[in-house]
DNA sequence: AGCGTCGCAGAAAACCTTTTCGGTTTTGTT
DNA sequence: AACAAAACCGAAAAGGTTTTCTGCGACGCT
């Protein structure tokens, strides 16, 4: 199984190899390949063919050293495991990939020491900028103002207003969720949500209550905070039905909670969506599409957040640094668990 | 909100800055900081203090250019969205992070063209090696033997046996699953699994059948292939109970299927685990811990796969290239859905 | 005193590319 | 044919670091 001899691993061709083969100087070869104008068409052709023959790829390391910009950025996540980082990361990778920028991935695993270590390593590699991705929307400590490269915070905003942060609009998310339920003709809406220590749950509730107030309505009972789990969804629903059997919609703080809610509703014989509409947050595919019926949910557009952060970093690298917290809208994805009251 | 003036963005200190401040030559400064021996202790101290004062970080780009090794690797995933890539990626990132190696993340999104493009870009950046992470365990085309750097395939093995691939032991996974059920005293075991077009489902079944045969038993009915969804789990369970109401265990091809199975079992009044034990595969936390009771599942140790791939790449870069497909064992994580038959 | 040795510091080359600038050839014009 | 202008090519520097090699002073030994 183990064999000592790998493939030949010949060194990649360099520009001077190309120049030698084409019979020109290094300078001319460079100009020919980069489309600079001071090269005769016929010479350029010869160089291009030589480069082709040697399958020459310019050494980006040397180029970076010379230019002072490496065309790389650091993506610093605090928690890869959590499912929120991934779409953001995908969006950022997508936005950069198109622009010929390469992304260093670092996972600090929620540890400030490790984060600091990664920042130093990335700066040593002369990244052109950093994106810091948090695992929740609560503000987090800034990396500091003295960094030699621009930084954009995504999902978790920086505590320092001088930094630029891109976050989903959690208040707006709560608002559009309720507006959708109202549009379905629901008026007796309950709210079961997660850990009150999360800013996300607070803001979503706030938006939901505001939208209800705008419509001259109030929640059925108080918002029920708990934990982000199906178990809590089940327990809270049992209590809710005991106290308010006439509820016609439940707005849940997450898709997990919503699944628990729907399970208990079904077990107790309440039909969804005919009698009770159910909505979740996060639009987590594996949960929304597997539930019965499929779950209407609010999508935070996290890929969009990632793309926007990448774009903002791009312009910051170009010199136009913004600051403050910028929010991006969320969207309702309608599935079978909500429908107009017939 | 937008402000044109960013922070000062002073250029990072260079080695010659340090040398000047310490009153020595660049060469001496380099030697002092790198612990080479040809420097007087007192001089070394002076250089170190100067570096400290300027918060000097050696430019890894320049270092990489000179050394011919950049201390970077490319991590090429075919599908970041899929949940299998992430743990592998975490394991690899973890293994490399400790070794001062930085990871370029590229997501090809299942597109061969994009993959090729990323490979070229990574080679242009002179990565020292590549890890290719697939989204399923079916063999995939090799990147080719002519690459200038070593490559390790993780999860999805390369079709070329000259390449090195690290994959979970799916056959063994099926085997240990059945062995666990047998240890629980179950003898009438059914098998509901996913898409037969996936090698994973075939191999898990194969292992399961082999373990049963070793015990002188056979499956209850044939393996039931379908799709990787809760819906299929529910449908298949309904059929299964109609045909074989005396089943005492169901081995499911994934946690999603298992959840569907358990839902129908509960709805039909079969108690889990007292009457019927249920097992899944993948050990997907959000599903296993939310189900009632919590689901016993086979974990593929994907972080381990990632770490092993990183380690193998490391040794390959050092010159000891292995080849072939190496499998890593899976493990049973026991939760409430399986228990000894009383 | 002369010689070899040792310890320490510095000059310079190397890594690969881009760009500037000077030099040479060609073209066009009279 | 002579000259100006344009077109083309190459030498060299720059970017930051490591390493090798040379040089220099001090020290020990005969």
Q: Where are the beta strands (DSSP E) in A78-121?
A: 102-107
**Separation CA A238–CA A255 (nearest Å):** 17
Q: Is residue B342 part of a domain?
A: no
Whichever domain contains A249, its CATH number is 3.40.50.2300
Number of structural domains found in chain B: 3
| Encoded tokens for B16 | 């010659």
Test A322 with B1 for CB contact under 8 angstroms. Answer: yes
| Residue A7 belongs to some domain of the structure | no
Are B224 and B315 in a shared domain? Answer: no
Take residue B132 and report the two structure tokens written for it. 């290719």
Is it true that the peptide bond before B273 is cis, omega within 30 degrees of 0?
Answer: yes
Q: What angle do CA A327, A328, A334 make, to 5 degrees?
A: 140
Note whether residue A252 is domain-resident: yes
**Which has the closest alpha carbon to B123: A59, A75, A74?**
A59
As given in the structure block, the two tokens for residue B140 are 């995939």
A33, part of any domain: yes
* Predicted pLDDT at A3: 43
Question: Using a CB-CB distance cutoff of 8 angstroms, which residues of chain A are in contact with residue B124?
Answer: 57-60
Q: CB less than 7 Å from strand C: which protein residues?
A: A 11, 14-16, 26-27, 30-31, 33-34, 36, 38, 56, 58-59, 62-63, 65-67; B 23-28, 37-43, 62, 65-66, 68
Through-space separation of residue A73 CA and nucleotide C14 C1' in angstroms: 28
The Cβ-side half-sphere exposure at B75, using a 13 Å CA radius, reads 30
A139: left (phi over 0), alpha (psi -120 to 50) or beta: beta
Cβ(A212)–Cβ(A219) below 8 Å: yes
Chain D positions within 7 A of any protein Cβ atom are 7-12, 14-21
Q: Is the dihedral of CA A291, A293, A294, A297 positive or negative?
A: negative
Cβ of A26 near strand D (under 7 Å)? The reply is: yes
Indicate whether A179 and A289 sit together in one domain. yes
Rounded CA-CA distance B264/B190 in Å is 15
User: 3-class DSSP state for residue A75?
Assistant: strand
Q: Do B79 and B158 belong to one domain? A: yes
A160 and A216 inside one domain: no
Is B27 near strand D, with its CB below 7 A from some atom of it? yes
Q: Is residue A256 part of a domain?
A: yes
Taking contacts as CB-CB distances below 8 angstroms, the residues of chain B near A107 are 90, 93-94, 97
Per CA to C1' distance, which residue is closest to C16?
A62
Burial of A191-230, coded b for 16+ CB within 10 Å and e otherwise, reads bbbbbeebbbbbbbbebbbebbeeeebebbbebbbbbbbb
Cα of A183 to nearest chain B Cα, Å: 30
Residue A11 with chain B: CB contacts under 8 Å: 68, 148
**Do B53 and B26 sit in the same domain of this protein?**
yes
Give the closest residue to A341 by CA, choosing from A181, A119, A120, A231.
Answer: A181
Protein A33 CA to nucleic acid C28 C1', in Å?
A: 29
DSSP class of residue B295 equals P
A192 and A294 belong to one structural domain: yes
Q: List the beta bridge partners of residue A106.
A: A76
A257 and A193, same structural domain?
Answer: yes
Same domain, A107 and A175: no
Any idea what the CATH number is for the domain that residue A21 is in?
1.10.260.40
**Residues in B touching A86 (Cβ below 8 Å):** 80-81, 86
Rg (CA), chain B: 27
Rounded Cα distance, B206 and B214, in Å: 12
Question: Is residue A90 domain-resident?
Answer: yes
Q: Which residues in chain B show pLDDT less than 70?
A: 1-9
In B 42-81, which Cβ lie closer than 7 Å to strand D? 56, 58-59, 62-63, 65-67
Of B64, B86, B260, the CB nearest to A80: B86
Q: Are residues A91 and A150 in the same domain?
A: yes
HSE of A313, CA atoms in CB hemisphere, 13 A? 32
Q: Do A80 and B102 touch (CB under 8 A)?
A: no
Query: Considering only CB atoms, which chain A residues are within 8 Å of B10?
Result: 148
Whether A182 and A161 share a structural domain = no
Reduced 3-state DSSP string for A160-175: CCCCEEEEECHHHHHH
List the single residue in B62, B81, B124 with the smallest CB-CB distance to A58: B124
Q: Is B115 in the same domain as B223?
A: no
User: In chain A, which stretches have pLDDT less than 50?
Assistant: 1-7
Q: How many CB pairs under 8 A join A and B?
A: 167
- Considering only CB atoms, A124 lies closest to which of B60, B75, B146, namely B60
Per DSSP, the three-state class of B96 is: helix
Same domain, B85 and B232: no
Of residues B125, B145, B149, nearest to A61 (C-beta):
B125
A40 touches strand D (CB under 7 A): yes
User: Could you tell me the two tokens for A169?
Assistant: 């609009």
Give yes or no for a contact between B278 and B262, defined as CB atoms under 8 angstroms apart. Answer: yes
Q: Which nucleotides of C are covered by protein (CB under 7 A)?
A: 7-12, 14-21
Chain B interface disruption, residue of A7, A146, A280, A320, most B CBs within 10 A: A7
Interchain proximity A125–B105, CB inside 8 Å: no
- The count of other CB atoms within 10 Å of the CB of residue B197 is 11
The first and second tokens of residue B283, run together, are 């050990």
Alpha-carbon distance of B36 to A96, in angstroms, equals: 40
Distance CA B112, CA B98 (A): 31
Rounded distance between C-alpha atoms, residue A190 and residue A210, angstroms: 14
Domain that residue A104 falls in: 70-168+302-328
Residue B8 is assigned to a structural domain of this protein:
no
CB contact under 8 A, A124 and B2: no
In chain B the first and final C-alpha atoms are separated, in Å, by 68
Residue B72 lies in a domain: yes
Nearest-CA distance B65 → chain A (Å): 6
What one-character DSSP code corresponds to residue B187? -
B contacts of A97 (beta carbons < 8 Å): 106-107, 118
Specify which residues B77 forms β-bridges with: B107, B133
Residue A250 near residue A191 (C-beta atoms within 8 A): yes
């Amino acid at each position: 199984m183990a064999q000592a001899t790998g493939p030949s691993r010949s060194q990649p061709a360099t520009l001077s190899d190309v120049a030698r083969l084409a019979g020109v100087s290094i300078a001319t070869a460079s100009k020919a390949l980069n489309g600079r104008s001071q090269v005769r068409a016929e010479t350029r052709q010869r160089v291009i063919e030589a480069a082709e023959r040697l399958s020459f790829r310019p050494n980006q390391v040397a180029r970076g050293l010379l230019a002072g910009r490496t065309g790389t950025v650091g993506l610093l996540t605090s928690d890869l495991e959590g499912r929120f980082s991934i779409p953001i990361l995908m969006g950022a990778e997508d936005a950069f990939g198109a622009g010929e920028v390469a992304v260093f991935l670092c996972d600090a695993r929620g540890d400030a020491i490790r984060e600091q270590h990664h920042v130093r390593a990335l700066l040593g590699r002369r990244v052109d900028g950093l994106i810091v991705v948090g695992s929740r929307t609560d503000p987090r400590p800034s990396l500091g103002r003295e960094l030699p490269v621009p930084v954009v915070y995504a999902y978790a905003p920086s505590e320092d207003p001088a930094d630029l942060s891109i976050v989903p609009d959690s208040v707006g998310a709560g608002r559009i969720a309720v507006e959708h339920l109202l549009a379905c003709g629901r008026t007796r809406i309950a709210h079961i949500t997660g850990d009150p220590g999360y800013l996300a749950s607070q803001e979503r509730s706030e938006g939901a209550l505001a939208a209800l107030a705008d419509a001259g309505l109030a929640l059925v009972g108080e918002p029920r905070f708990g934990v982000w789990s199906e178990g809590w969804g089940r327990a809270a629903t049992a209590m809710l039905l005991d106290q308010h059997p006439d509820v016609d919609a439940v707005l849940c703080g997450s898709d997990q909670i919503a699944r628990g809610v729907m399970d208990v509703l079904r077990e107790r014989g309440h039909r969804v969506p005919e009698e009770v509409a159910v909505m979740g947050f996060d639009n987590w595919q594996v949960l929304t599409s597997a539930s019965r019926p499929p779950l209407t949910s609010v999508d935070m557009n996290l890929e969009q957040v990632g793309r926007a952060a990448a774009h903002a970093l791009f312009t910051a690298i170009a010199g136009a640094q913004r600051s403050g917290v910028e929010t991006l809208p969320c969207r309702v994805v309608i599935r079978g668990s909500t429908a107009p009251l017939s």
